[in-house]
A and B are shown apart, each in its own frame.
Chain A
Amino acid sequence: GAVVSQHPSWVICKSGTSVKIECRSLDFQATTMFWYRQFPKQSLMLMATSNEGSKATYEQGVEKDKFLINHASLTLSTLTVTSAHPEDSSFYICSARALGQETQYFGPGTRLLVL
């Protein structure tokens, strides 16, 4: 149980284009989903928290107009990197948490490379 998927696992795009990453909870309802970014040899950095049906809460320093988050259902959240630039290249990981629970379950991650 508690499986979270992400799609795509790998994406390469040109500078200036937008990229959408999907995060799905496959066997439970995720009232809260989180988006993280991880740089090599570093720990996870929380970008934003989203509750189903509500606007996402972004961490300080994260541009909400650049990283658009939608959490329209209890099993799906999307992260759209708009007008991507090479500095947005990173490993993006989502996690999901069920109502009343504390444990976050993570997806396998999406590697983004912006050329």
Chain B
Amino acid sequence: EDQVTQSPEALRLQEGESSSLNCSYTVSGLRGLFWYRQDPGKGPEFLFTLYSAGEEKEKERLKATLTKKESFLHITAPKPEDSATYLCAVLNAGNNRKLIWGLGTSLGVNP
């Protein structure tokens, strides 16, 4: 069964304290892995799409990497404004092409 697991469930960092969020997946053929950021009461904001193992993408303090089993979202020197829930989703290669979502990691960054 296709599944996405995110860890940790919640994480609190001090400003400037770098860390990584994990997204483990099992899917019958990966068509794409997506990272989104969601602030309370808002829709998810697109961050990255990764398509194949070894791929990496960066945007400001965020860097996403992908292997055949998992993806990491590295946050370098986070700021309080990086506080949000980070969602991971995968798209399988089947005909339905539905996103399979993880439950997210709630990140809080203390000033």
Contacts and interface: CB of A to CB of B under 8 A. Distances in A.
Nearest to B106: A41
Contacts of A43: 87, 101-104
Give chain B's interface secondary structure class.
Answer: strand
B111 interface: no
Contacts of B104: 43
Interface string B52-93: 000000000000000000000000000000000001000100
B25 interface: no
A91 B102 CA distance: 18
A44 to B, nearest CB: 6
Given A102-B91, A103-B32, A44 B44 contact: yes
A103 B34 contact: yes
A2 B34 CA distance: 15
A102 B33 CA distance: 10
Given A102-B32, A102-B91, A103-B32, A93 B43 contact: yes
A93 B102 CA distance: 17
Interface size class of A (residues with CB under 8 A): 20 to 34
B12 interface: no
A114 to B, nearest CB: 18
A109 B42 contact: yes
B87 A102 contact: no
Interface of A: 2, 4, 6, 42-44, 46, 49, 91, 93, 95, 102-109, 111
Interface of B: 31-32, 34, 36, 41-46, 49, 87, 91, 98-99, 101-104
